Structure 1
Amino acid sequence: MPDNIGDNEPQFDKEKYAASLTRLDSIFRNISKSVTEISKSRCPYKNVQDRCTAKFGCRNQNIKVPPGEMYICVGSDDLDYRDAWESETPIV
């Protein structure tokens, strides 16, 4: 067996690694900001196809869809839905 087993660890540029982490951090921060802004006005149960994923009734559901399809969400994206799920009372 060769004597140098384990001596061939991959080398990497620490500065390049740090720059990559900084870039990734920036990307994820921008994604997070976008999500936060969208969450201020978009119902959390409305998917990308404007279908309602809620497992309960809602006045914004258009239920006139073929059997087996999710209801269409006709809610306004101009409303602030956050009060519906934010509470001062902690869940016990």
Structure 2
Amino acid sequence: MSKPKPNLRAMFEAPEPQAEPASALAVSPAGAKKDSHPGKKPVLIHIPETMHKDLRRLALEDGIPLTQITERLLREFLVKKGYTQHSAK
């Protein structure tokens, strides 16, 4: 008894292109992320653990994101050093 021969043509032919559903067309491409902070760049800094803990606590108490607190402090520093284009508008 012999084995049935595999259908090689079906294995190597490209499948018929299928129309994508409308919902699939609305999805952004794989790997694309929505920019949650447009016009801004991330900065990694290393600070003492106790300082981070206190800043986080202050952010929670005041209801202000840690990013906003940090941005305000950096803006004040830059203005103090003469970079007045960063003064609050």
Q: Which has the higher contact order (CA 8 A, sep 6+)?
A: 1
Higher helix share: 2
TM-score (normalizing by structure 1)? 0.30
* TM-score with structure 2 setting the length: 0.30
Greater radius of gyration (CA): 2
Higher relative strand content: 1
